[in-house]
Chain A
């Protein structure tokens, strides 16, 4: 090495030294060769070949740790298939003529898995040995910028790595060696356990063996009674019925005893398989919630008034439910209660929605079609240019020619009312969200849920509260279509530069003036984008809300779905898309015409 080079390396050695801590003599030249691009691919880190995850954990290269662990586990799982199928193959070969297909299948699997597993294992190890040092060099580069990146060799990390492996590897490998249990097996186990749970208190037994002894005693007692009766020559009617009762007891006891012995005979391995590795052990069985219904009935004490009547049904004997069923039934009961208790409020809301829908529908459907068509074309011509005007005119022609005009107008009315509600509620919420950090923190997840929860799952409660047809459809649409309105309003206001707001304040703006004269006008482009999104989403909900009886183009699509009429569905779908695009293009034109920023 020349003098100049030595000095270079000496300087760097200081930091490599601190980073590597052990084996500096090995890593310093390696790192230098990596930097020079001269480390050959076949240069292997022996430790990384032998125990890649161990090496990675000790060195703090956690990504390499997980990757190497995953590769090794997948390879081992493949090899375990060989272990799993070899005895089965031997079993099948015992009666070779009867099992030709099985033999071919098993030996095929054994060969394939054997090869994949071995190749993956050997190839994975070689790859890790070759890349480990490069990986470590990257970690070194990151560490030089950010000293919190793990460095050196740490026994604690190695122990942690071993613990992680101990948690993951044995179960995974055990699972790979076992054939999957019959689905019914686990179910039967649960049933048996439940049966035993019921029987234990009935016989006052503490454990399963004690239960069996108690049952045996009962059987003996019944048999003794029977023997006494059989010994008699002639039986009275009473004695006959007593005999048949005793016979029944013996039969029932025999069945129960069979259940208990079955339970006792379940092998420890099967129990382990079912409850530990096959599925999450959802063993909790609860008493179901009280089966209550609430109904609003005329109040006998006050004429003309109504009250909520609470009716409780007798519980089904011995019924146990899972946590899921318990919660679902509780929710049903709460909905039922709310519906009965606040019937007036819900009915009033439904009524407001229905009335406004009717007004808007009248406006769209009873205005002569030439007028509506003219308005659309005029709007697009005034704001959105010639191309859009042609598009709007042909879309309208499509609707008219296919006799979808009135139905499309109905959809339009639904969209207009939904959008109006979205704006009326969404705009203030968006403003509040922009102004209040805590409220923003609370609202954001709620909005995400509103957008992602499948609409079909809240259509059901919507129907429960608001009945069927248009009003609940509007509500479902509002839930689905409002989030972008809120989010983009908040975003637009938050995006107003701090300096601009400061200037307004410096000239004596009050908070209200700041909002009205600075923040809202500057947020307009964002708000308009939100409005646009809201309209599009409202239209896309048209089909879904047809499931609860909303009329319009969506209803054609759903009925086509029911009758498997592809053509009808497609044409109605295209009509929805055209309506959406018309509104979008016209709005965009209006936005551009008025926007200054």
Chain B
């Protein structure tokens, strides 16, 4: 069972969104038509995906692509116009206010781009906020908050006011607040976008480390493809409210679904992204062209999962092609030609 599951979620903004939605379903009209006829804006268009337990799922898209709108459907801060959202198998669209409140307080933690800390409360009280809403007593709250502070390496800052902390530290507090109630799901809405590059990288690494220990199911919003690749087990790319492709970083880099995605991935470094299996040449193709492989020669050997970076390291300092072996079976060969092609981005070279 997936932890978070979205099925055909639509969001249409405007006073006549219901009519617009009906027309979309009946006539299949497009965005421009919806705007013209109903003065309604399509925010999310037919989004479906499922996130498994412990997975980090990145939603990537430029500003205005609807990714923040979509993530707010997961805790129903925004009501979908149509479609189903299931959290841990439960349809949240059918939930009553009270059940929804409990779900938000217990199961889902959220981190915001602008931190959204309460300025009148100390860091500790901010972190204990979700617990307080749940009715946890003050002593337990303080303990859990201090634990959470330790997790984000802000030990000893509990009594400060948010305004006394730097942006990076404030975002750690935001993260601690989301973690304090020990939710199963983390929603992170561009958490690191407002931070400067060094601190951003730092926090990304820390979050990855934390994530490996805590195994929270995470939905991570970002407009930065590099960040999406670093953080995400899988990536969903959004454009104009629509998810255009879902896949691992490697899938998206090697087989972009359309020109838009291709444009996106054109600029990224493939060194650490693409594995040998994606670019290697079949053995018989190689032998047909170059003759049989001399078993005596000192061929460098790599596994199909090794990335291009490793292959480059292996093939420098020798003229021989790299043999790709999967548990001692020869599965393919990477020559310098194939390697260069692979780096360049010719996916099927």
B191 to chain A, nearest CB (A): 12
> Given B105, B119, B120, which contacts A507 in the complex, CB threshold below 8 Å?
B105
Interface size class of B (residues with CB under 8 A): 20 to 34
Q: Tell whether A504 pairs with B108 under 8 Å between CB atoms, given A497-B116, A597-B120.
A: no
State whether A508 touches B133 (Cβ < 8 A).
Answer: yes
State whether A597 touches B119 (Cβ < 8 A).
Answer: yes
Q: Mark B11-22, 1 if CB is under 8 A from A, else 0.
A: 000000000000
Give every chain B residue within 8 A of A497 (Cβ-Cβ): 116
A597 to B126, CA, bound (A): 14
State whether A502 touches B116 (Cβ < 8 A).
Answer: yes
Give every chain A residue within 8 A of B133 (Cβ-Cβ): 504, 507-510, 513, 517
State whether B120 touches A522 (Cβ < 8 A).
Answer: yes
State whether A507 touches B116 (Cβ < 8 A).
Answer: no
A524's closest neighbor in chain B, by CB? Answer: B120
Give every chain B residue within 8 A of A499 (Cβ-Cβ): 112, 114, 116
State whether A522 touches B118 (Cβ < 8 A).
Answer: yes
Give every chain B residue within 8 A of A507 (Cβ-Cβ): 104-105, 109-110, 129-130, 133, 177, 181
Give every chain A residue within 8 A of B117 (Cβ-Cβ): 503
A504 to B118, CA, bound (A): 9
A504 to B134, CA, bound (A): 12
Q: Tell whether A508 pairs with B119 under 8 Å between CB atoms, given A499-B112, A502-B77, A596-B161.
A: no
State whether B116 touches A508 (Cβ < 8 A).
Answer: no
Which residues of chain B in 128-167 are interfacial with respect to chain A, using CB atoms and an 8 Å cutoff? 129-130, 132-134, 161, 163
Give every chain A residue within 8 A of B163 (Cβ-Cβ): 597
A505 to B120, CA, bound (A): 17
A524 to B121, CA, bound (A): 13
> Given B110, B118, B121, which contacts A506 in the complex, CB threshold below 8 Å?
B110
B75 at the interface (CB under 8 A from A): yes
Looking at chain A's contact residues, is the secondary structure mostly helix, strand, loop, or mixed? helix
A500 at the interface (CB under 8 A from B): yes
A504 to B112, CA, bound (A): 11
A507 to B77, CA, bound (A): 10
Most B CB within 10 A of own CB, among A497, A505, A507, A508: A507
A195 at the interface (CB under 8 A from B): no
A429 to B75, CA, bound (A): 32
State whether B134 touches A505 (Cβ < 8 A).
Answer: no
State whether B77 touches A505 (Cβ < 8 A).
Answer: yes
A467 at the interface (CB under 8 A from B): no
B8 at the interface (CB under 8 A from A): no
A518 at the interface (CB under 8 A from B): yes
State whether A506 touches B161 (Cβ < 8 A).
Answer: no
Q: Mark B89-114, 1 if CB is under 8 A from A, else 0.
A: 00000000100011111101110101
State whether A506 touches B119 (Cβ < 8 A).
Answer: no
State whether B114 touches A506 (Cβ < 8 A).
Answer: no
Q: Tell whether A508 pairs with B130 under 8 Å between CB atoms, given A503-B110, A522-B118, A597-B119.
A: yes
Give every chain A residue within 8 A of B110 (Cβ-Cβ): 503, 506-507
B104's closest neighbor in chain A, by CB? Answer: A508
A521 at the interface (CB under 8 A from B): yes
State whether A508 touches B120 (Cβ < 8 A).
Answer: no
Give every chain B residue within 8 A of A597 (Cβ-Cβ): 119-120, 163
State whether A596 touches B120 (Cβ < 8 A).
Answer: yes
A133 to B97, CA, bound (A): 64
Give every chain A residue within 8 A of B106 (Cβ-Cβ): 508
Give every chain B residue within 8 A of A505 (Cβ-Cβ): 77, 104
A487 to chain B, nearest CB (A): 22
State whether A500 touches B116 (Cβ < 8 A).
Answer: yes
A596 to B163, CA, bound (A): 10
Give every chain B residue within 8 A of A506 (Cβ-Cβ): 75, 77, 104, 108, 110, 187
Q: Tell whether A596 pairs with B119 under 8 Å between CB atoms, given A503-B110, A506-B77, A506-B104.
A: yes
Give every chain A residue within 8 A of B102 (Cβ-Cβ): 508
Which residues of chain A in 578-597 are interfacial with respect to chain B, using CB atoms and an 8 Å cutoff? 596-597
A507 to B183, CA, bound (A): 10
A500 to chain B, nearest CB (A): 5
B110's closest neighbor in chain A, by CB? Answer: A506
A299 to B116, CA, bound (A): 67
State whether B120 touches A510 (Cβ < 8 A).
Answer: no
Give every chain B residue within 8 A of A510 (Cβ-Cβ): 97, 101, 133
Give every chain B residue within 8 A of A524 (Cβ-Cβ): 120
B323 to chain A, nearest CB (A): 53
A517 to B133, CA, bound (A): 9
A439 to B331, CA, bound (A): 75
A507 to B75, CA, bound (A): 9
Give every chain A residue within 8 A of B161 (Cβ-Cβ): 596
A521 to B118, CA, bound (A): 9
Most A CB within 10 A of own CB, among B103, B133, B181, B187: B133
B98's closest neighbor in chain A, by CB? Answer: A510
Which residues of chain A in 519-549 are interfacial with respect to chain B, using CB atoms and an 8 Å cutoff? 521-522, 524
State whether B77 touches A504 (Cβ < 8 A).
Answer: no
Q: Mark A485-508, 1 if CB is under 8 A from B, else 0.
A: 000000000000101101111111
B22 to chain A, nearest CB (A): 28
State whether A522 touches B134 (Cβ < 8 A).
Answer: no
State whether B114 touches A508 (Cβ < 8 A).
Answer: no
Give every chain B residue within 8 A of A513 (Cβ-Cβ): 133
Give every chain A residue within 8 A of B119 (Cβ-Cβ): 522, 596-597
State whether A503 touches B112 (Cβ < 8 A).
Answer: yes
Q: Mark B248-277, 1 if CB is under 8 A from A, else 0.
A: 000000000000000000000000000000
Q: Tell whether A508 pairs with B134 under 8 Å between CB atoms, given A521-B120, A522-B119, A597-B119.
A: yes
Give every chain A residue within 8 A of B129 (Cβ-Cβ): 504, 507, 517
Give every chain A residue within 8 A of B103 (Cβ-Cβ): 508
A467 to chain B, nearest CB (A): 45
A504 to chain B, nearest CB (A): 7
A514's closest neighbor in chain B, by CB? Answer: B133
Give every chain B residue within 8 A of A596 (Cβ-Cβ): 119-120, 161
Give every chain A residue within 8 A of B97 (Cβ-Cβ): 510
A267 to B134, CA, bound (A): 87
Q: Mark B330-341, 1 if CB is under 8 A from A, else 0.
A: 000000000000
Q: Tell whether A508 pairs with B118 under 8 Å between CB atoms, given A503-B110, A503-B112, A517-B132.
A: no
A513's closest neighbor in chain B, by CB? Answer: B133
A505 to B104, CA, bound (A): 8
A504 to B125, CA, bound (A): 13
Give every chain B residue within 8 A of A502 (Cβ-Cβ): 77, 112, 116
Pick 8 A–B contacts, CB within 8 A, sort by A. Answer: A500-B118, A503-B116, A506-B108, A506-B187, A507-B129, A508-B130, A513-B133, A521-B118
Residues of chain A whose beta carbon lies under 8 Å from any beta carbon of chain B:
497, 499-500, 502-510, 513, 517-518, 521-522, 524, 596-597
Known: A507-B105, A510-B97, A597-B163. 15 other contacts (CB 8 A): A499-B114, A502-B77, A502-B116, A503-B112, A503-B116, A505-B77, A507-B104, A507-B177, A507-B181, A508-B101, A508-B134, A513-B133, A517-B118, A518-B118, A522-B120
10 closest A-B pairs by CB: A508-B105, A503-B116, A508-B104, A507-B130, A506-B110, A597-B119, A499-B116, A508-B101, A521-B120, A596-B120
Residues of chain B whose beta carbon lies under 8 Å from any beta carbon of chain A:
75, 77, 97, 101-106, 108-110, 112, 114, 116-121, 129-130, 132-134, 161, 163, 177, 181, 187
